[in-house]
Amino acid sequence: MAKTPTKRWSEGEVKTPLLTAGVVSDTHIPDRVQTIPGELLERLNELRVDLILHAGDISIPPVIEDLSQIAPVTAVRGNRDLFFDHKIDRDITLDLAGIPVVLTHGHGGWVNYLADKLKHLFYGYSFERYRKWLSRQYPHAQVIVFGHTHFAENRWVDGKLFFNPGSCTMAFRNQKPSFGILRFYEGGKVTGEIHRL
């Protein structure tokens, strides 16, 4: 087992996280791969996560059951989650160690999804396009966890952390599969990490 990591905030000050969240998205099982990568499950277990956030495109319910063997799972519905119908929400606001966190897939419903597909086709991926939309939708959040793009992001902009773990199974083009870790500390501090598989 890995030791619980600590964070050095300033000279001599070392903190242990109050909460460690594993973050996954875009598993696409079985439409793109057949099972969750064993390496993902092993690493989440080694990192001793307290909970797992799934940012959508789960595809089938057994994915949640498999992840639940590691830690409790909170998940949202993505554009490919037809099996879930409306059994899970499109977005959730959580209070994690006193920090307001929004978990969403980030596709914004079918109209926004189709408009974004056209923009992506003509202009390619744009973090700014997602950042602006997410900021308008969730002004109350300090951390916005999203998926959908398959591009990993760990960026602070205007006092908000925009965190996308990327796809943990089939990333686009030159992107490697990845997952994320969010660590929540006393005093409202949070850090994000992207881990490649």
18-62 tens-digit pLDDT: 999 999 999 988 878 889 999 999 999 999 999 999 998 898 889
Confidence class for position 1, pLDDT limits 50, 70, 90: very low
Rounded mean pLDDT, 67-80: 92
At 126 the pLDDT is 77
Average pLDDT, the chain: 87
**For residue 2, pLDDT beyond 60:** no
Domains of the chain from N-terminus onward: 18-196 (3.60.21.10)
* Most confident of the ranges 4-18, 152-166, 170-184: 152-166
pLDDT top residue among 169 and 117:
169
Amino acid at site 90: R
Rounded mean pLDDT, 62-73: 96
At 3 the pLDDT is 44
Rounded mean pLDDT, 2-6: 46
pTM reported for the whole predicted model:
0.87
Q: Is the peptide bond before 30 cis (omega within 30 degrees of 0)?
A: yes
Handedness of CA 56, 57, 59, 62 (dihedral sign): negative
Order of strands, sheet of 99-104, starting from the edge strand that comes earlier in the sequence: 91-96, 99-104, 143-145, 160-164, 153-157
Lowest model confidence (mean pLDDT) among 5-19, 91-105, 164-178: 5-19
Pairing between strand 153-157 and 160-164? antiparallel
**For residue 107, pLDDT beyond 80:** no
Order of strands, sheet of 73-75, starting from the edge strand that comes earlier in the sequence: 73-75, 51-54, 19-24, 178-185, 189-196
